[in-house]
Chain A
Amino acid sequence: MSTPESTLTETQLAAFKKAVADGPIDHDGLAAEYDADTKTYRIETPNHQTNFSADELTVDAELAAYITNWYFYTYEVSTAVNKAFCRWLELADDHSVPECYDALESGIDREWGQLRVTTTISADGTRHYELRHVDDSDVDATTLTTHTNPFDAREIGTLDETDRYRPLRTAPSLKTGWIFPDLSAAEVYEAVEAFYPATVVNWHREQRGELDVDHWRDEQDRQSGIYNLITVLPDEAVDWAAAACCDDSQCLKRREWQLSADEPLDADGGDGVFPCRGPCSMVVAAGREWAKLERQDTQTYEFELTPSEKEQLEAIIDAVADGEVDEIREADVSEPANRWRVRYLREKRVDDAGNLSGTSTHPGEQDDT
């Protein structure tokens, strides 16, 4: 398997000669060393092993692929995390360089949250990254808004499709309609980090087995000020909170934090590519609210409802919790959470004081209305 398109530039060849003269190269299946005494290059790839005299170094297409690959990862990608991310984008750990190059000719697609990154390659091994919303995968690029500055990603990710603020950048509510057609390795990293801050660095720590997880109890211990209140949130409520907030339908990070390292939560952590290493500020703020609410004791109420009304209330909870209210058609009164159905229920079952079925929230206390 070869990639006849691969060609080495003079700069790359010079860099290769200089590097190998300074010391052996061992990179992605390419092993090269220079014997100064005999003025000989010894170059080995999985399929070939060749000795060249110093002035007769000839590079065929397959060797060019190996050398341009080495050059790209040595000189065009500057940090370890950027390098690891680019390798993940092109599945470099799963394939040989020629296999990878073949696939890069037509483009390798990877998904990072709601982002689709397509990596392609030039003859000299330079990678090009195209970034768009995964839901725009099959959309004609000319119909999408083109961006070249990777930092534009922050602004694209600020509001959702309906112009509502996205305080949680990793919520699955990224809007469509944009494209970064040709980013460099450094730029694709910046763009992805601007869409999903710190996800690549934390993924990289996890890849190296070094992800530091802050569990809920760590978070409780660290808080001060108004967030001290989360220390009184019952343990079972932390499970409800994780199930409510950290589900894949709400956040694309894969929750790795638990109650503590020895006390796993029952809630599913999700299947995201990138990990969540600790309760985010949204979860902490919500936890504070629930801590306040959980201080109340339960109370037995008696309500008069028909079976369909009880089911309607449950369906309304589902519709709100699953974000489906806006999908219910205006005239579809068969839907329990349809606005007219709910308004009808309110007319029938909620009294002027706002009490369901006329049942006071605080029986025995003076009704403040």
Chain B
Amino acid sequence: MQSLVIVAHGSHLNPESSTPTHTHAETIRETGVFDEVRTGFWKEEPSLRDVLRTARGDDIYVVPLFISEGYFTERVIPRELRLEGWDPELWDSDGISADTATLVASDIDNAVHYCGPVGTHEAMTDVLIRRAVSVTGDEEVGEGFGFAVVGHGTERNEKSAKAIEYHTERIRETGRFDEVKALFMDEEPEVDDITDQFDSEDIIVVPLFIADGFHTQEDIPEDMGLTDDYREGYDVPAAVDGHRIWYGGAVGTEELTADVILERAADAGAEIGNAIARVRQQTNPTTGAAGE
């Protein structure tokens, strides 16, 4: 019997913060490849402290729905889950290559597979590209378009910028878009200057964030000049300084993110059959199965 436990930050103030976690949990639940899919949160319930005791599997896969390695994935989550003998070195990561470590969680006296965060998995690149498709409604989107991956920056966590750069480079390597650049909220190149950063008339902008909140719904749209006041909303695309900006919001809300969670668990040894293929098909906006 195998259990999937998705752990995320959550919020005391914003009910939308945990929405992607629950949506992806439900998508994976529907595949039936796990006997159960549980969710646990730093700021909501069940807490990280209690979540493992809600799981009953012999094989438990814990996947952090976080964008990058850092304070939460390396310190808070292992501590709260009580992973005995945890050391970030077990991931042997260069900052974006954490995969999995198997440790006994003393709360349940059972070994759990603690996976690297969703945001640094290579499959997250596909989710960013999928978001470009869903925001433009064009399965073939690419030519004539610039693509900006937006992140917080290094102010709070240097590894967060690494994840942004990693996916930016991977999207660039596909050769699909005319230009691909990483932009940041609190360091150069800044998202405020987006129209100076791109030659392309059309620019797709996707923040590498898990959930929509004040950064993705208020700060970034205002910083880019999509609107003077986020409460009044903005157009997609929005005209700014001679460019058309296709703003996609937090990538973690894209339904394909469920696929990355599955990839993480599969990398750690979970048996998931063809669930990845099914989720890819089911969450594809152009097949009409998702996002209705």
Contact = CB atoms under 8 A, between A and B. Distances in A.
A198 B12 contact: no
Contacts of B278: none
Given A197-B54, A198-B54, A222-B79, A280 B47 contact: yes
Interface in B1-58: 11-15, 22, 26, 29, 42-47, 49-51, 53-54, 56
A201 B53 contact: yes
The residue in A165, A205, A277, A282 that gathers the most chain B C-beta atoms within 10 A of its C-beta is: A165
A197 B12 contact: no
B170 interface: no
Contacts of A193: 54
Contact of A167 (B13, B51, B71, B76): B13
Nearest to B41: A281
Given A79-B56, A225-B71, A282 B76 contact: no
A79 B11 CA distance: 31
Contact of A158 (B15, B46, B54, B79): B15
Interface residues of A, number: 26
A159 B15 contact: yes
Contacts of A165: 13-15
B56 A202 contact: no
B53 A198 contact: yes
A277 B107 CA distance: 13
B71 A169 contact: no
B27 to A, nearest CB: 12
A167 B79 CA distance: 23
A281 B47 contact: yes
B79 A281 contact: no
Contact of B47 (A198, A201, A285): A198
Contacts of A168: 45
Contacts of A107: none
Interface in A173-230: 193, 197-198, 201-202, 205, 214, 222, 224-225
A83 to B, nearest CB: 12
A154 interface: yes
B50 A281 contact: no
A367 to B, nearest CB: 32
Interface in A78-115: 79
Contact of A278 (B42, B49, B71): B49
B14 A224 contact: no
Interface string A305-340: 000000000000000000000000000000000000
B56 to A, nearest CB: 6
Nearest to A277: B50
The residue in B14, B42, B53, B75 that gathers the most chain A C-beta atoms within 10 A of its C-beta is: B53
Given A79-B56, A282-B12, A169 B50 contact: no
Contacts of B12: 167, 281-282, 285
Contacts of B51: 198
A244 to B, nearest CB: 16
Interface in B50-83: 50-51, 53-54, 56, 71, 75-76, 79
A172 to B, nearest CB: 15
Contacts of B46: 197-198
B45 A197 contact: yes
A363 to B, nearest CB: 35
A224 B80 CA distance: 11
Given A158-B15, A159-B15, A225-B71, A167 B44 contact: yes
Interface of B: 11-15, 22, 26, 29, 42-47, 49-51, 53-54, 56, 71, 75-76, 79
Given A151-B29, A198-B47, A198-B54, 18 more contacts: A79-B56, A151-B26, A158-B15, A165-B14, A167-B11, A167-B12, A167-B13, A167-B43, A168-B45, A170-B45, A193-B54, A198-B46, A201-B50, A214-B49, A225-B71, A280-B45, A281-B12, A285-B12
Interface of A: 79, 151, 154, 158-159, 165, 167-170, 193, 197-198, 201-202, 205, 214, 222, 224-225, 277-278, 280-282, 285
25 contacts: A79-B56, A158-B15, A165-B13, A165-B14, A167-B11, A167-B12, A167-B43, A169-B44, A197-B50, A197-B54, A198-B45, A198-B47, A198-B53, A198-B54, A201-B50, A201-B54, A202-B50, A205-B53, A214-B49, A224-B79, A225-B71, A278-B49, A281-B44, A281-B47, A285-B43
* 7 closest cross-chain pairs (CB), A and B: A197-B46, A198-B50, A198-B46, A197-B45, A167-B12, A165-B15, A169-B45
